[in-house]
Amino acid sequence: MSFTVIIPARLKSTRLPNKPLADLCGVPMIVRVARQALKSGASRVICAVDDESILQCCQKFGVQAVLTRKDHACGTDRICEAAEKSGIPDNEIIVNVQGDEPLIPPNIISAAADLLVNDAQSVMGTAAIRIKSSEEFFNPNVVKLILDKNNRAIYFSRAPIPWARDEFAKKQEVLPQDLGLRHVGIYSYRCGFLKSYPTLPKSPLEAFESLEQLRAIWNDYKIAVSVFNDEIPPGVDTAEDLERVRAFCAAKEFNS
């Protein structure tokens, strides 16, 4: 199975400016992400960047990159432009690996591509893991999701879903077993669908939650989900996250 990884990267992140260029033990974050993606078996890895400084950084480290417009509303629109500029055919599977996931396991990336090989009705795929603490469940920075019987997404939210009414009426410090799923920021697409994505009507839910994947659900497209039992390292959203990943890299002597 052939698939392409595209990594969107924006210089002016709201919570952590210049995030793609942040140093992780001598290697910029965007390069770390690309190197993890290359281990997944992808036929190629392309960074979709919005600034010349990120483009030059990628080129310095031998990573393929495409310069895209600065005014894209979301990462999906950015990878759509990169796919078109790169001449990727409509029947290709594209995996969108977020540019702030330097520790993402390569098997998660290949599994996202496999979802669309095995589920002809879905146009997108993503991943999730079990939430293990009430602190994580009630954290609005942790995106939760609920699934149907076919492991396709019903909804994504920053709110704690599903709400265990009877259990939480008693206490909220301990989660009922297997209650919550945390979304892992990775997506796969059929390239033909991806190219049509920017033309889809935008959902008000997408704006409320600041979660672009809700546009697909609102327009009645199906998103397949792989649920993993192993812990998947979270991405880098804040300065505290960055320091945590730096410490991890230093402790594990992360290969350059």
What confidence score (pLDDT) does residue 256 get? 46
What is the bridge-based pairing of β-strands 153-157 and 144-147? antiparallel
* DSSP 8-state class, residue 16: S
Helix, strand, or coil (residue 255) = coil
What are the 10-residue block averages of pLDDT along the chain, 256 residues in total?
A: 92 85 93 96 96 96 96 86 94 94 93 95 95 91 95 97 89 84 92 92 93 94 93 82 88 59
* DSSP 8-state class, residue 202: P
Neighbours of 60 (CB within 10 A): 10
User: Which CATH code of 3.40.1350.10, 3.20.20.140, 3.90.550.10, 3.40.50.1000 fits the domain covering 3-127+184-254?
Assistant: 3.90.550.10
**Phi and psi torsions of 120, nearest 5°:** -70, -20
Which amino acid belongs to residue 219? N
Place of tokens 């002597």: 253
What confidence score (pLDDT) does residue 222 get? 97
Type and span of the H or E element at 173: none
Question: Do 101 and 183 meet the contact criterion of CB atoms below 8 Å apart?
Answer: no
DSSP string, 141-170: TSPEEEE-TTSBEEEEESS--S--HHHHHH
